[in-house]
């Protein structure tokens, strides 16, 4: 590998890699820097200030949208994680009729473009509310509840995929061994299966949180008057024009992403430590029989 041609290829590869990193990070870095800029123009630097952050925290619309976003993300993640984990276990550990078709149904929401998903749910809620009104006289409108229902719909599949990858990694013999040692189904789940898939469940939940906090298109279609989330609110502002206030809000949203990434990386490290524990199943089985 030491001939000059190879070394030249190596150098080109290295330069390309660092250029890609600059491309990936420069826009984010500039956005952060300019959010601390005291100027009405978004990209002309005058002097550092926290003016736009003060303005943001004093802005009721931004704060309301932020509260909505957090509520939607937390509720939809919680529900999607429980249902999605059960789905992953069902698909990965059991055989039953219709499983193939249902497996396909579970994957579709991941592949389908979000514009289509948005259109589907818009028509669905419109139609469902219409039918409900004509049958019972109850008039429902879109709002936070429709946003939450929609986010659960796309998050279930993502949670299931992440958890399935985790289940596929360990041997079902561990669960069978627990059963052989007279553990009940519930004990087996609580003391063997669940601890083993926990990193996957947490990873799936973090992905669901991220997707929920990211979504613009679906939310825009199913939100009612006065129930907007932070991304939809920011999206509306951006379409009208850029202001330094958006820079500050963007940095807060970035910070939220970063915190989630940090947790997820920490979990991955935790998972490898657990991996060593899995390599020694005897210790796990001691736990079960105790």
Partner 1 sequence: MTQGPVTPELERAAEKAESRRGLLIGLPAYAYLILFFAIPLVLVFVYSFASRSSTGLTVLEDWNLDSYRRLADPLVIEIFVRSFLLALITTAICLLVSYPFAYYIATRGPSMRNILLVLVMIPFWSNFLVRTYAWRVILGSDGIASQISQVFGGEPVRVLFTSTAVLIGLVYGFLPFMVLPLYAALERLDWNLVEAARDLYASGWAAFRKVTFPLSMPGVVAGSILVFIPSLGAYVTPAILGGARDVLLGDYIVSQFLAARNWPFGSALSFGVMFVMLLATIFYFRVGAKSL
Judged by CB under 8 A, the chain residues 49 through 78 that form the site for partner 1 are none
Burial 122-131 (b: 16+ CB within 10 A, else e): beebeeebee
Q: Residue 106 interacts with partner 1 (CB under 8 A)?
A: yes
Residues 205-264 that bind partner 1 (CB under 8 A): 210, 213-214, 216-217, 221, 231, 234-235, 238-239, 242, 246-247, 250, 253-254, 256-258, 260-261, 264
Q: Are 230 and 37 in contact (CB under 8 A)?
A: no
Q: Are 208 and 77 in contact (CB under 8 A)?
A: yes
Give the residue among 55, 41, 22 at the shortest CA–CA distance from 252.
55
Give the residue among 197, 178, 196 at the shortest CA–CA distance from 188.
178
β-bridge mates for residue 48, sequence order: 37
Which lies closer to partner 1 via its Cβ, residue 170 or residue 235? Answer: 235
Which lies closer to partner 1 via its Cβ, residue 11 or residue 283? Answer: 11
Per the structure block, which two tokens stand in for 200? 């996957």
Count the Cβ atoms, other than its own, within 10 Å of residue 56: 21
Which lies closer to partner 1 via its Cβ, residue 6 or residue 289? Answer: 6
Q: Residue 11 interacts with partner 1 (CB under 8 A)?
A: no
Which lies closer to partner 1 via its Cβ, residue 78 or residue 122? Answer: 122
Q: Are 71 and 227 in contact (CB under 8 A)?
A: no
Count the Cβ atoms, other than its own, within 10 Å of residue 198: 17
Q: Nearest approach, Cβ of 119 to partner 1 (angstroms)?
A: 5
Q: Nearest approach, Cβ of 59 to partner 1 (angstroms)?
A: 17
Q: Nearest approach, Cβ of 237 to partner 1 (angstroms)?
A: 10
Q: Are 217 and 114 in contact (CB under 8 A)?
A: yes
Which lies closer to partner 1 via its Cβ, residue 90 or residue 187? Answer: 90
Q: Residue 265 interacts with partner 1 (CB under 8 A)?
A: yes
From 34-42, 48-56, 161-169, 276-284, give the range in contact with partner 1 by CB under 8 A: 34-42
CA-based Rg of the chain, rounded to a whole angstrom? 24
From 16-24, 47-55, 133-141, 162-170, give the range in contact with partner 1 by CB under 8 A: 16-24
Q: Nearest approach, Cβ of 238 to partner 1 (angstroms)?
A: 6
Residues 153-172 that bind partner 1 (CB under 8 A): 153, 156-157, 160
Which lies closer to partner 1 via its Cβ, residue 191 or residue 203? Answer: 203
Q: Residue 194 interacts with partner 1 (CB under 8 A)?
A: no
Query: Any idea how long the chain is?
Result: 290
* C-alpha torsion sign, points 31, 212, 164, 288: positive
Residues 117-156 that bind partner 1 (CB under 8 A): 118-124, 127, 149-150, 152-153, 156
Angle of CA points 286, 264, 223, to nearest 5°: 120
């Amino acid at each position: 590998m030491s001939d000059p041609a190879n070394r030249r290829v190596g150098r080109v590869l290295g330069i390309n890699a660092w250029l890609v990193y600059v491309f990936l990070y420069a826009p984010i870095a500039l956005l952060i820097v300019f959010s601390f800029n005291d100027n009405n123009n978004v990209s002309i630097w005058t002097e550092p200030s926290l003016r736009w952050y003060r303005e943001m925290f004093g802005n009721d619309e931004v704060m309301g949208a932020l509260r909505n976003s957090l509520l939607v993300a937390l509720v939809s993640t919680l529900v999607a994680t429980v249902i999605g984990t059960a789905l992953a276990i069902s698909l990965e550990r059991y055989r039953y009729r219709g499983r193939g078709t249902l497996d396909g149904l579970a994957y579709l929401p991941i592949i389908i473009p979000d514009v289509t998903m948005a259109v589907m749910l818009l028509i669905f809620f419109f139609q469902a509310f219409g039918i409900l009104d004509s049958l019972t006289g109850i008039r429902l409108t879109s709002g936070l509840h429709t946003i939450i229902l929609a986010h659960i719909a796309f998050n279930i599949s993502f949670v299931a995929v992440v958890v399935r990858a985790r289940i596929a990694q360990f041997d079902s013999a561990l669960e069978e061994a627990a059963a052989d040692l007279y553990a009940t189904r519930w004990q087996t789940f609580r003391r063997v299966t669940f601890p083993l898939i926990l990193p996957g469940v947490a990873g799936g939940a973090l992905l669901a949180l991220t997707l929920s906090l990211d979504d613009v298109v679906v939310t825009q279609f199913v939100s009612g008057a006065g129930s907007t989330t932070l991304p939809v609110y920011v999206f509306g502002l951006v379409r009208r024009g850029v202001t330094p206030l958006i820079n500050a809000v963007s940095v807060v949203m970035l910070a939220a992403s970063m915190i989630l990434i940090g947790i997820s990386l920490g979990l991955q490290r935790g998972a490898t430590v657990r991996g060593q524990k899995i390599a020694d199943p005897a210790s796990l089985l001691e736990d079960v029989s105790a």
